[in-house]
């Protein structure tokens, strides 16, 4: 008969009954012997306490009984750095909103308040939680881990991501088109405001990442250090994965392998050195689940606060993360009554949590557009009305993205063939109900579109195929596993969250937006199927390490941040490889190399007095380049119908206009009256995307217009 571990609820209740038993008198003796005698005396007086003997003897190791405050502090001590980072992030977001509300978001005010609050929070955490950092122990553990290949490969990936992030300026599409520009606009306005623009994503998108970037922007006046946020989050993923998986009941041997393999998933590791916000979603969600599981063990108030802060920040990153609240609530539901009895503490925490979540953005969207999404006419067509088409399209695109080879030389031809299939053409049922459905293949994985990738899918499917249904996991440490019934509730809520995402999301980047949800799917598969025998085999070890090595090679070859002399290599192979392939590779690498400052030539035609530049945008332009150097010039979006006097009152004397936008307007002189009297300074051919030809822009001087 197998001795199964006692569920945590039963164990805690048993301890409470056993602690009231009378203590027998005993002579002075050693601490361990005294504790053993105490347990024997209680067991003799109350026979039902015998089953709790082992847990009582854990008192000497853990410093207290399950559910005590000391055990909660020990749980926080193990991961206090990650929790402190979450606290700092929450302070940054809250401070950004508060100063915006007061219209006092200035450089000096923000820095002084941020340093003061963070310093106070650090002192409070160190004094209350008795935190310390044992450097010698850290080095010893690091050396021990680096003797094995997977931890070493993860460290290499971390260092490569850090190097790429510091060498190259951010060139992420979302960041350059609307995230960094709107942050700079808020700084110029001394607070958040609804920006008049053709790119409405500047207004209705989640704001957490922007507030995290704000301290770097105002201190160094550059986006050079922005990737440090993602690098820091990436470094904590292995420990979070292991902690969550073992507490869910997955074998520690299996969890150890996946704690390295999951963070090396293609979409995650490619964003580690950049400024994509999907990695932030993964980090906040993992911290929220980890702290919720730890709270179930110790019921420490600090863990609950960290958990609600993390899930609030996760929802505030982007609206597609809101369904992730369901599995988090499933973990804390059994303690709902206790949480509701916290009184004034619950009220304060709730107010802070709602302030850093997606709620302020939703309220502002409703205020300005009468729609919580901020897109009442569904102009961007990401909110689908046909759930069947949404689920079908998302499943197909996510599957295609995760089974596509990481290196695909003739990607454009394969992509065209797939999109020309009858069921996927523009006149098909799926395309009519899912406008953004498209097969998008690249020669190399890119951070704007990658899911976990083929390597992770191969290992996961292999683990499921070679696993057994056996459930004989016995915890050999102080970690309390999640009872089976509660685990079923948790994964049931996870399925509900995945279904909610699939039924509404209509983006062409579904595989990337789905990144936080992959952890739920893989966790459920490993919980349901025990692959502890497989991970002992040499074949698994060889294939896993090979996949990790191939992932690192992709990081080195990534067009976003190539860590090799790509121009020299392409010049060397130009006479060997096919000419079309070399030309395509050169176009991709050169486009990414210049993407971060594509409008540099335009800035050369501006004088020092042009502190406000008008911009007629397509709504999809990478305008961050026009803001450089940050804090010196403001970019104002010129909308149809704006008169010459309005522009001059704002201080605009020059306007940069997209030629394609001007050509789409039948009577351009009426819609943009300054075009008829303005003087053309110069035309520019700007290539913003490798797959799209150069676009035409014209710089017009309107100073002489009346």
Q: What is the pLDDT of residues 580-627, one digit of tens each?
A: 888 889 999 999 999 999 999 999 999 888 899 999 999 889 999 999
Lowest mean pLDDT among 222-226, 298-302, 333-337: 298-302
Question: Which residues face 682 on adjacent strands?
Answer: 699
Domain boundaries, the chain: 8-66, 71-369, 387-536, 600-701
- Omega before 40 within 30 of 0, i.e. cis: no
Give the number of C-alpha atoms closer than 13 A to the C-alpha of residue 70, restricted to the C-beta side: 7
Instruction: Choose the weakest-confidence range: 32-41, 107-116, 461-470.
Output: 32-41
pLDDT given at position 390: 95
Long-range contacts of 10-13 (CB under 8 A, 24+ apart): 11/52, 11/55, 11/66, 11/480, 12/66, 12/67
Rounded alpha-carbon distances, angstroms, from residue 545 to 258, 261, 262: 12, 9, 13
pLDDT of residue 474: 54
- Distance, in Å, from the CA atom of 642 to the CA atom of 652, rounded to the nearest integer, reads 12
- Number of other residues whose CB lies within 10 A of the CB of residue 595: 23
User: What letter does residue 479 receive in the DSSP assignment?
Assistant: P
H or E element that contains 366: helix 359-369
Quick check: 52 pLDDT over 90?
A: no
| Percentage helix, strand, coil for the chain under 3-state DSSP, each rounded to 5 | 65, 5, 30
**Contact yes or no for 213/624 (Cβ under 8 A):** no
- The per-residue pLDDT for range 54-81, each reduced to its tens digit, is 333 333 333 333 444 455 555 555 567 8
* Percent of residues, the chain, with pLDDT higher than 70: 86
Q: What is the pLDDT of residue 18?
A: 46
At residue 44, the pLDDT reads 46
Lowest mean pLDDT among 6-10, 97-101, 282-286, 610-614: 6-10
Using DSSP's 3-state secondary structure scheme, residue 143 falls into helix
Distance of alpha carbon 27 from alpha carbon 29, whole angstroms: 6
**147-151 LR contacts (CB < 8 Å, sep 24+):** 149/545, 149/548, 150/257, 150/260, 150/261, 150/544, 150/545, 150/548, 151/238, 151/260
Distance of alpha carbon 412 from alpha carbon 121, whole angstroms: 52
* Mean of pLDDT over the chain: 85
First-residue to last-residue Cα distance in the chain: 93
Q: What is the pLDDT of residues 145-170, one digit of tens each?
A: 888 999 999 999 999 999 999 999 99
Q: Is the Cβ–Cβ distance between 298 and 66 less than 8 Å?
A: yes
pLDDT greater at residue 43 or residue 89: 89
CA 520 to chain centre: 15
Q: Which residue has the tokens 């998986």?
A: 245
Q: Label residue 82 by pLDDT band (50, 70, 90).
A: confident
Does the pLDDT of residue 4 top 80, yes or no? no
Q: Which residue has the higher pLDDT, 6 or 160?
A: 160
Q: Which residue has the tokens 């020092």?
A: 608
* Residue 304, pLDDT above cutoff 50: yes
What would the mean pLDDT of 328-353 be, rounded to a whole number? 90
CATH class of 600-701: alpha beta
CA 16/CA 1 separation, integer angstroms: 28
CA count, 13 A, side-chain hemisphere, 343: 1
Question: Scanning the structure block, which residue is given the tokens 């994509």?
Answer: 276
50 pLDDT more than 50 = no
Collapse the DSSP code of 687 into the 3-class scheme (helix H, G, I; strand E, B; otherwise coil) and give the result. coil
Nearest to 687 by CA among 589, 606, 560: 589
Label residue 136 by pLDDT band (50, 70, 90).
confident
CB 290 within 8 A of CB 252: no
Give the pLDDT of residue 131.
Answer: 55
Give the chain's radius of gyration (CA, Å): 28
DSSP letter at 70 equals: H
pLDDT tens-place string over residues 435-493: 999 998 888 999 988 999 999 999 999 999 988 775 555 555 556 778 888 999 999 99
Q: What is the distance between the alpha carbons of residues 346 and 227, in angstroms, rounded to a whole number?
A: 35
Adjacent-strand bridge partners of 275 = none
Do 508 and 315 meet the contact criterion of CB atoms below 8 Å apart? no
Give the C-alpha distances (Å, rounded to integers) separating 541 from 254, 257, 454, 468, 648: 12, 9, 17, 19, 67
Q: In this predicted structure, what is the pLDDT of residue 311?
A: 96
pLDDT at 546 over 90: yes
Burial of 45 (0-12, 13-18, 19+ CB in 10 A): middle
**Does residue 244 register a pLDDT over 50?**
yes
The pLDDT value recorded for residue 64 is 35
The C-alpha angle 83, 84, 90, rounded to 5 degrees, equals: 90
Angle (nearest 5°) at CA 261 between 259 and 267: 115
Instruction: Say what the alpha-carbon torsion angle 25, 28, 34, 37 is, to the nearest 10 degrees.
Output: -40
Residue 194 in tokens:
């609804």
Q: Residue count of the chain, please give it.
A: 706
Q: What predicted TM-score, i.e. pTM, was given to this entire model?
A: 0.87
CA distance 10 to 481: 13
C-alpha–C-alpha distance, residues 523 and 681, integer Å: 59
**Angstrom distances, CA of residue 30 to CA of 24, 34, 38, 166, 548:** 16, 6, 12, 56, 50
Cβ-Cβ contacts under 8 Å for 605 (sequence gap 6 or more): 681, 682, 699
Where do we find the tokens 């991709």?
A: 588
Structure tokens at 503: 């039924």
Closest C-alpha to 106, from 258, 246, 240, 218: 218
Q: Is 431's pLDDT higher than 60?
A: yes
pLDDT tens-digit map of 192-203: 999 999 999 999
Write down the pLDDT at residue 661: 92
């Amino acid at each position: 008969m197998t001795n199964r571990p006692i569920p945590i609820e039963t164990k805690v209740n048993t301890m409470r009954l056993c602690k009231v038993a009378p203590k027998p008198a005993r002579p002075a003796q050693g601490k361990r012997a005294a504790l053993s005698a105490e347990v024997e005396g209680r067991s003799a007086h109350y026979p039902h306490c015998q089953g709790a003997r082992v847990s009582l003897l854990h008192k000497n190791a853990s410093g207290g009984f399950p559910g005590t405050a000391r055990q909660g502090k020990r749980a926080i001590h193990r991961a206090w750095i990650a929790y402190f980072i979450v606290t700092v992030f929450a302070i940054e977001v809250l401070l950004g909103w508060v100063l915006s509300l007061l219209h006092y978001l200035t450089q000096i005010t923000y820095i002084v308040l941020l340093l003061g609050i963070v310093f106070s929070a650090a002192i409070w955490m160190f004094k209350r939680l008795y935190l310390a950092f044992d450097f010698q122990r850290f080095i010893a553990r690091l050396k021990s881990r680096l003797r094995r290949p997977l931890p070493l490969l993860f460290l290499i990936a971390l260092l490569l991501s850090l190097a790429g992030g510091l060498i190259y300026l951010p060139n992420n599409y979302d960041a350059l088109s609307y995230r960094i520009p709107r942050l700079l606009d808020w700084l110029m306005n001394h607070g958040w405001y609804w920006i008049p623009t053709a790119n409405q994503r500047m207004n209705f998108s989640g704001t957490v990442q922007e507030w995290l970037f704000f301290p770097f922007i105002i201190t160094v006046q550059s986006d050079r250090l922005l990737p440090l946020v993602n690098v820091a989050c990436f470094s904590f993923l292995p420990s979070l994965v292991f902690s969550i998986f073992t507490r869910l009941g997955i074998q520690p041997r299996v969890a150890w392998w996946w704690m390295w393999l999951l963070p090396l998933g293609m979409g995650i590791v490619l964003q580690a050195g950049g400024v994509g916000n999907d990695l932030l979603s993964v980090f906040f969600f993992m911290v929220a689940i980890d702290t919720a599981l730890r709270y179930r063990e110790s019921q420490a108030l600090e863990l609950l606060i960290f958990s609600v802060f993390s899930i609030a920040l996760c929802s505030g990153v982007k609206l597609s993360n809101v369904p992730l609240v369901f599995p988090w609530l499933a973990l804390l539901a059994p303690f709902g009554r206790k949480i509701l009895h916290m009184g004034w503490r619950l009220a304060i925490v709730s107010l802070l949590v709602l302030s850093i979540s997606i709620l302020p953005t939703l309220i502002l969207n409703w205020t300005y557009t009468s729609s919580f999404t901020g897109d009442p006419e569904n102009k961007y067509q990401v909110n689908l009305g046909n759930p069947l088409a949404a689920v079908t399209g998302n499943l197909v695109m996510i599957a295609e993205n995760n089974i596509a080879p990481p290196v695909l030389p003739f990607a454009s031809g394969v992509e065209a063939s797939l999109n020309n299939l009858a069921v996927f053409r523009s006149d098909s049922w799926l395309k009519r109900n899912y406008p953004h459905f498209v097969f998008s293949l690249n020669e190399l994985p890119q951070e704007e579109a990658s899911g976990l990738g083929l390597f992770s899918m191969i290992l996961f499917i292999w683990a499921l195929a070679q696993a057994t249904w056996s459930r004989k996991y016995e915890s050999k440490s102080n970690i309390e596993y999640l009872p089976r019934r509660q685990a079923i509730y948790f994964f049931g809520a996870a399925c509900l969250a995945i279904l909610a995402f699939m039924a509404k999301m209509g983006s062409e980047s579904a595989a990337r937006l789905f990144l936080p949800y992959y952890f739920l799917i893989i966790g459920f598969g490993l919980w349901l199927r025990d692959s502890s025998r497989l991970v002992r085999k040499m074949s698994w070890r060889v294939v896993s390490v090979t996949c990790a090595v191939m992932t690192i090679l992709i990081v080195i070859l990534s067009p976003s941040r190539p860590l090799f002399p790509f121009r020299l290599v392409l010049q060397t192979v130009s006479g060997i490889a096919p000419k079309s392939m070399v030309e395509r590779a050169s176009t991709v690498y050169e486009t990414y190399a210049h993407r971060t400052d594509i409008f540099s030539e335009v800035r050369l035609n501006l004088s020092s007095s042009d502190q406000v530049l008008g911009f007629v945008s397509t709504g999809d332009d990478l305008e961050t380049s026009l803001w450089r150097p940050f804090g010196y010039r403001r970019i104002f979006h010129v909308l149809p119908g704006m008169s010459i006097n309005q522009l001059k009152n704002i201080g605009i004397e020059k306007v940069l206009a997209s030629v394609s936008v001007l050509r789409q307007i039948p009577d351009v002189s009426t819609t943009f009256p300054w075009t008829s009297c303005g003087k053309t300074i110069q035309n520019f051919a700007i290539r913003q995307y490798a797959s799209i030809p150069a676009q035409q822009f014209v710089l017009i001087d309107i100073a002489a217009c009346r």
